[in-house]
Amino acid sequence: MRKIYLAVFIVLVISALLFIASLFYLDKEKHKSYRFSVTIDGKETGLIKVDKFVTDDNLFYRSHSSYPFEPLLTDSKSRLTLDKRYALIDYIKDDFGGGIENMTYLENTKDNISFVGTSMSEFACLTDLTIKHNAFVFEEYSPVTYLPILENYDFSIGRAQAFNVITTYSPLLPPMKRLLTLTSIRDEYMKINSRKIKVECLLIRMRNLTQGMLFVTKTGRSLVCIEFPEKKLKITRIFGPKDLKAEPLLLKSDLYSEEAVKFSDKKTALAGTFTAPKSEGRHPAALLIGGAEEVDRDEQGLFKYAADMLSSNGFAALRYDRRGVGSSSGDPKSTTDAESFDDAKSALDYLSSRKEVDPERIVLIGHGKGAFYAARIAAETKNIKAIILMAPSISLAGQMDLNFDNLNEMAAKYKWDDQYLKLAMKSHIETIDKVKNAKNSWIPILKKRCFVKKLKEELEQNPTDIIRKVECPVLILHGKEDETTPSKDVASLDKALEDSGNKNHNLIYYGYLGHFFGKMVNDGVHKAYYATDPAVLDTMKKWLEGNS
């Protein structure tokens, strides 16, 4: 009898262990995690963690990316929700860091995609974009978007297989419908850490995308590497957590001192950097006014190099973080142009009050939208000595509702097809309509809060009228490779100065430079920055010698 009881007890224990093991196995199947390392030109620049969750009804893919070498947008979170047939339910991507936040959201409504994107205090939207039922969300540098596609690639057939995909172009442009082709070409062994793994290589082909390669394990079909050789970029599977740290770029000289400062605009505390020559007495000074959405006081390196040049040549200089960015207080997601203009005036007042500064010899240097603020200050303040407008951005300001010149230029530059150009125009019109009809400062779109007050202000602005009131000397600098500011807009500002009778204005183009006037440096040690082209700094120096 004792043996029977013992046997029954053993059977019960084994059954319990098998039940627990089965639950563990199912749990592992319902939740899988992957970690990846991102390298550019052999330097590790980012880390990505991807999770997949399976429920009775849906598939959830979640990703968290960390890019500490980026100037401000150092983190990205995304979530992709599909049903069991891999049909898209929704997709959201948040890029954030340093006070900046950009968001893109896609939602499937009756096999049509609705889109809303926000970039700081601006937004764009589009409803009812018709897609094919089996379309996948795809971003070439985001492993989380590869997983559902790989799960639908038939490895038993191999060869070339096509997938309808939608790609997110930018937070302020609608998604783009494209065709992605994966082609199995060979098997090989890949060494990852100390592991040697047999993998299958698939070519990635898509219009307007440099050819890439995917590597998946032969057993389990697990993604282990994404590679774009032409861009020297690799996203490689790693086993275990890691940590990356970036150092800020430091430019120092024995010719000038550097000081972290704070000043206030009403209830907003702004932070900046003041540099001044070490020589005694009052000096001419420059206020650097930024306008790019995703940068702090250093304007991705441009203002750091400019301040170094200025203070090495006898100028004091002040650059500052915009509201809610870097060390400045405030909410950047609800900041209007009027408030940014007030902040620039507060910075000017602070600069004028410094004992190292000659308040009668102040020049303004504005970049992007900051050039608009600089021009407005110069138009309203008669004691500004001169202004330099670098890649002056107009955005919606001063354009007719249906003026699509900027979109047409982008279409030509990036080889958009006619269908996508029309889609971008439709999104532009729909966004403007939302702004015009809004009765409050915020409106809900797809359950996301969108700030309309800034865009409403921009529709009422006319920077051409403002530039006509500028009487001081003006230097306009523009790179013809600029992806943000159309050359046509820059030329129109120069013409407005000519028409107004301004006798001292000059427009200089740089055919080989982009929006930040220099070459991007991503050395794997410092936060990425643009090293300003010496020719640009030399032009500014010589022009200021005769106009300040």
Domain layout of the chain by residue ranges = 29-238, 256-397+459-547
pLDDT in tens, 385-422: 999 999 998 543 444 345 677 788 788 888 899 999 99
Residue 26 confidence (pLDDT): 35
pLDDT in tens, 345-390: 999 999 999 999 999 999 999 999 999 999 999 999 888 999 999 9
* Cα distances (Å, whole numbers) of residue 479 to 314, 381, 389: 27, 28, 12
Amino acid found at 537: L
Question: With 0-12 CB in 10 A as exposed, 13-18 as middle and 19+ as buried, what is 13?
Answer: exposed
* Cα distances (Å, whole numbers) of residue 438 to 127, 210, 429, 454: 17, 41, 14, 12
Around Cβ 141, how many Cβ atoms within 10 Å? Answer: 16
Residue 521 confidence (pLDDT): 92
Residue 457 confidence (pLDDT): 87
β-strands 474-479, 505-510 pairing: parallel
Residue 394 confidence (pLDDT): 59
Residue 227 confidence (pLDDT): 97
Q: What does pLDDT average to in each consecutive run of 10 residues of the chain (548 residues)? A: 55 48 46 94 94 95 96 94 95 94 93 93 93 89 96 94 93 94 94 84 93 94 95 92 88 93 87 96 97 84 97 97 92 91 95 97 96 94 94 57 70 88 94 94 96 89 85 96 84 91 96 94 90 98 94
Q: Domain 256-397+459-547: which topology?
A: Rossmann fold (3.40.50)
CATH architecture of residue range(s) 29-238: Clam (2.50)
d(CA 48, CA 276): 42
**Three-class SS state of 66:** strand
Which pairs with CB-CB distance under 8 Å and at least 24 residues apart come from 55-60?
55/30, 57/83, 57/84, 58/82, 58/83, 58/84, 58/89, 59/83, 59/84, 59/86, 59/148
